Amino acid sequence: MQFGFQAVESVAAGFTLTSFKHLPASGGKRLHVYLEGDGRPWERGMFPAADPTTHASVILKLMALDPSPAFYLGRPCYNGHAGDQGCTQNLWTGARYGERVLRSMTQAIIDFCDEHGYRETVLIGHSGGGTLALLLAERLRQTVAVVTLAGNYDIDTWADHHGYQRLSESLNPATRNDTGISEWHLLGKRDSNIPPDLFQEALQRRRNSHVQVVDADHSQGWQAIWPQMLQRLEQLR
């Protein structure tokens, strides 16, 4: 149990995912799907981690502020599943945004919406969760909006900026078709991991995209601005 949320275990495309839900009875038919960052894929930046699960969630704290129906979707091999059959370290390093991960998460969202009767989804992702939000939106016709916070929009540009090896087995949102749905991209002005100048111009060129630089670093400051963002999402109804 996290923040009073109810844990959900689901099997999707061969992986077991541990997620959390908060579903108020009067919440309507739109679901906010929260997507965590990459956690700890590497140890000391050199060795693949034995367990990539984050130790300090940003996105769960934001979900706790949200009165709407909300679903924190776990990733394959995260949240205690790193040792599951089919899990390899590649799925949280070079292929963390790859086809197998996306197929599983897409199926989990579809199944959850079918089970609970949600017809629309808003995808909300922090850091690498923002990468996944943009990639999942292509596959989920019910998506009405995407929100990224310190999102890694162009994974090649990001890797080159930091001198990291490129994630060669992952899909890159910057090279995909623009869906044209409503997008909000929030960038932290004190963020050294995803500095605003890295993606701001490219994000502003996307159709129906709203880009804002806020007073935050990569992991701190997001709770203060989140109620305002939730009000914007409410106006989409």
Q: With 90 as the cut, is the pLDDT of residue 111 above it? A: yes
- Contact of 185 with 148, CB cutoff 8 Å: yes
pLDDT, residue 2, reads: 61
Q: With 70 as the cut, is the pLDDT of residue 45 above it? A: no
pLDDT-derived band at 55, boundaries 50, 70, 90? confident
Tens-place pLDDT, residues 194-221: 999 999 999 999 999 999 999 999 999 9
Share of the chain above pLDDT 70, in %: 98
Say what angle helices 128-137 and 99-116 make with each other, to 10 degrees.
Answer: 70
pTM of the shown model: 0.97
Average pLDDT estimate for 98-120: 97
pLDDT-derived band at 3, boundaries 50, 70, 90? confident
Average pLDDT estimate for 63-74: 96
What's the sign of the alpha-carbon dihedral 112, 32, 86, 167?
positive
Listed residue (181, 168, 167, 169) closest to 139, CA to CA: 181
DSSP 207: T
Tens-place pLDDT, residues 123-182: 999 999 999 999 999 999 999 999 999 999 999 999 999 999 999 999 999 999 999 999
For 233, half-sphere exposure in the C-beta direction (CA atoms, 13 angstrom radius) is 27
**CB 176: neighbour CB atoms within 10 A?**
12
Nearest 5°: phi and psi at 225? -95, -10
Q: DSSP string of 89-156?
A: GGGGTTTTTSHHHHHHHHHHHHHHHHHHT--EEEEEEETHHHHHHHHHHTT-TTEEEEEEES----HH
The three-point CA angle 125-129-135 to 5° equals 95
Coil, strand or helix: which one is 15? strand
Tens-place pLDDT, residues 71-94: 999 999 999 999 999 999 999 999
C-alpha radius of gyration, the chain, whole number = 16
Beta pairing partners, 71: 21, 33
Rounded to whole angstroms, how far apart are CA atoms 36 and 38?
A: 7
pLDDT-derived band at 1, boundaries 50, 70, 90? very low
Rounded to whole angstroms, how far apart are CA atoms 123 and 209?
A: 14
Tens-place pLDDT, residues 135-148: 999 999 999 999 99
Element (H, E) at 202: helix 196-204
| 46-to-41, 56, 76, 103, 129 alpha-carbon distances in Å | 10, 21, 22, 28, 22
Domains delineated in the chain: 6-234 (3.40.50.1820)
Q: With 80 as the cut, is the pLDDT of residue 26 above it? A: no
